[in-house]
Structure 1
Amino acid sequence: MSYDEIGDLRFFSALVDAGSLTAAARGLGTSPAAVSRRLARIEARLGSTLVIRNTRHFGLSETGRLYYERGLAIVAEIDYLEEEISSSTRAPRGTLGIGAPVELGRRQIAPFIEAFSARHPKLNINLALASEGVYDFSDSLDVVLRLGLPDTPGAVVTRLASTMRVLCASPDYIRRRSLPAHPRELVRHDCLCLRRNKTMALLNRWAIGNDTETEVVTVEPRLSATNAEIIHDWALSGQGIAYKLLCDVYQDLEEGKLVRIFPDLQGEKIDLYAVLPGRQHTRASVRAFVNELRPYIRTAGFMDQG
């Protein structure tokens, strides 16, 4: 396809969107006569009437509608291609909207964004947090970080890393109650459970094991909440044993504020995904965010890079 043909597609799209030769001329900064002449040249080249026009009516013929609809798709593909190529050398700029689960967002993503923003001063970044990290893209978000495989039609989904759930409690709780010797003994301990935010369903079936055997223990919580940070805070204050994501508690484990129970065993494995609407992954700011986040999260309680 020649440059003139691409230009004709762009011109014809602008003409149809304007709704008349006069309005198109105003938008293109030219005269109605010039618009009419160019339209006539396109129709002559194609050998078909594209626009049915008279003093009272402006409409598309069947071939005109086909030319318009297919032309929009072709022009969009060209624009996406050029954006993808140029984004590799262009500094990220503009606005970047990021969604994340509350605890991950506050403890890990927010500090990362501080450093990321310092490296890319032309970016304005918005961070939106939700209790379960679930958004739709009508929220004007460019990247959504999601724990667990998302089901978002039309989105580009990239696995970033994996974490896992671990059993943990404060040193104060362990001094008072001692450590369980076996996962089945969890039923005799004070347990802290998360509930689903909308349904209030209790997440009290805790899986813990190794590569060959997994034990699933159903606990009755002493305390439960719909917010993961509250569970975290209760664990820190000695209220009981929590089944937490390693990425949320790894720093407290390193500092001794929490103690991992059954350190040779592991709980449910959870993957972290970046969800990007449609072609958004071609933007320089989105590509930079995802690429720079990958190595960072490997130091923040995640086990491997996707």
Structure 2
Amino acid sequence: MFFMEIIKVIYDEAGGMRFFTSLVTSGSLTACARKLQTSPATISRHLSRLESRIGTQLILRNTRHFGLSENGRIYYERALEILAAIDGLEEEISSNMHIARGVIGIGAPVELGRRVIAPFLEGFSAENPDLLVNLALASEGFYDTSDSLDVVLRLGVPDSPDAIVTRLASTVRVLCASPEYLAKRLPPISPGDLLKHDCLCLRRNKTMELMNRWLIGNTIKTEIITVEPRLSSTHAEIIHDWALSGQGIAYKLLSDVYQDLEQGRLVRIFPDLQGEKIDLYAVLPNKKYTQASVRAFLKDIKPFIKGSGFF
């Protein structure tokens, strides 16, 4: 009985720490209430009980200010360390049992996520029935630590200095168009002929920067062709759809179009040449412990994607 009481106290303390760290990262009582799907009054009562139990004010708050007291800062930093240790212990035990369990959140660019990651997760979920899998998709695969994801798949070098980064595979950009488009227009003979064709270009989200400088070549010679697009979009899948419907030539990742090339819906232009090489990275938050579920995901995703336009 005494041992069970001790366990209950430990879990109560951990619950208080999790509540407090969630409150601090949310930035306000109202934001925390939205995150936990409760009311600001309930959050305020939880905070008051926690401060009463500890015997000190943790949050300095009024109508204009919400910030940590000095004791609150100490409590927050130590709580993060303790919770990481608790999570690490639980994950280590789970890992030793070779069971991925709990919840895993995965982020990916939209087109990669739909065409490659989502099909992979169907089998991965079936092989790990104790694991709940969440897939979040963003236009360029950009997320931050507030997105509550355990691993983010990113095309191109990540710019998160504190993150744990693993390169999974590489792909290349290729020029492609539909058979219908090439039946209407003389196929380009050299890269310079692209200037005479209808081109489909991607734009950077938010900045609308036009990505119209297409590198094409081989190990001996490469050149950059600056095209003027007939159609452009910030969404990679729209570029893909336009290419399929015969609207022009697209400069696409091989991992996005490999099935269409294999099945003849698209034709690769200059098959002996290729565009820039793009690496696929797995980006993990800077945590001391890596979840068993994340380790299982990374182990299984590598061989799967090698047959999906990656090498």
Normalised by the length of structure 2, the TM-score is 0.73
Percentage of pairs with the same residue:
69
The partner residue of 2:158 within 150, 169, 186 is 150
In 2: Cα distance, 1:106 partner to 1:277 partner: 23
Residues 52-71 of structure 1 mapped to structure 2, 5 A cutoff: none
In 1: Cα distance, 2:114 partner to 2:263 partner: 18
2:230 is matched with 222
Do the aligned partners of residues 282 and 203 (structure 1) sit closer, same or farther apart at CA in structure 2, a change above 3 Å counting? same
AA at the equivalent of 1:169: A
Q: Deviations over 1:15-59 (max 9, x none)?
A: xx99xxxxxxxxxxxxxxxxxxxxxxxxxxxxxxxxxxxxxx889
Do the aligned partners of residues 265 and 58 (structure 1) sit closer, same or farther apart at CA in structure 2, a change above 3 Å counting? closer
Normalised by the length of structure 1, the TM-score is 0.74
The partner residue of 1:171 within 179, 182, 196 is 179
Q: CA deviation at 1:79?
A: 6.7
AA at the equivalent of 1:132: E
In 1: Cα distance, 2:299 partner to 2:270 partner: 34
Corresponding position: 1:301 with 2:309: yes
SS at match of 1:238: coil
Q: CA deviation at 1:222?
A: 0.6
Corresponding position: 1:206 with 2:214: yes
1:270 is matched with 278
CA contact (8 A) 1:156 1:281 kept: no
The partner residue of 1:98 within 85, 100, 106 is 106
AA at the equivalent of 1:215: E
In 2: Cα distance, 1:199 partner to 1:265 partner: 30
Do the aligned partners of residues 88 and 184 (structure 1) sit closer, same or farther apart at CA in structure 2, a change above 3 Å counting? farther
CA contact (8 A) 1:206 1:219 kept: yes
Q: CA deviation at 1:282?
A: 2.0
Structure 1 residues without counterparts, runs of 5 or longer: 1-9, 19-56, 60-65
2:135 is matched with 127
1:240 is matched with 248
Residues 17-32 of structure 1 mapped to structure 2, 5 A cutoff: none
Corresponding position: 1:190 with 2:182: no
AA at the equivalent of 2:104: L
AA at the equivalent of 1:202: L
Do the aligned partners of residues 152 and 128 (structure 1) sit closer, same or farther apart at CA in structure 2, a change above 3 Å counting? same
Aligned residues: 250
Structure 2 residues without counterparts, runs of 5 or longer: 1-8, 18-54, 58-73
Q: CA deviation at 1:154?
A: 2.1
Do the aligned partners of residues 165 and 58 (structure 1) sit closer, same or farther apart at CA in structure 2, a change above 3 Å counting? closer
Residues 8-23 of structure 1 mapped to structure 2, 5 A cutoff: none
Q: Deviations over 1:75-108 (max 9, x none)?
A: 9569747744651433111111110000000111
In 1: Cα distance, 2:261 partner to 2:87 partner: 48
AA at the equivalent of 1:243: Y
CA contact (8 A) 2:215 2:223 kept: yes
The 10-residue stretch of structure 1 (112-121 or 82-91) with the greater mean CA deviation from structure 2: 82-91
Do the aligned partners of residues 259 and 280 (structure 1) sit closer, same or farther apart at CA in structure 2, a change above 3 Å counting? farther
AA at the equivalent of 1:129: L
Do the aligned partners of residues 78 and 116 (structure 1) sit closer, same or farther apart at CA in structure 2, a change above 3 Å counting? closer
The partner residue of 2:264 within 256, 260, 272 is 256
2:124 is matched with 116
CA contact (8 A) 2:214 2:225 kept: yes
In 1: Cα distance, 2:289 partner to 2:276 partner: 29
Any runs of at least 4 consecutive aligned residues in structure 1 with deviations exceeding 6 A, and if so which? 69-72
The partner residue of 2:189 within 181, 189, 199 is 181
AA at the equivalent of 1:149: V
2:292 is matched with 284
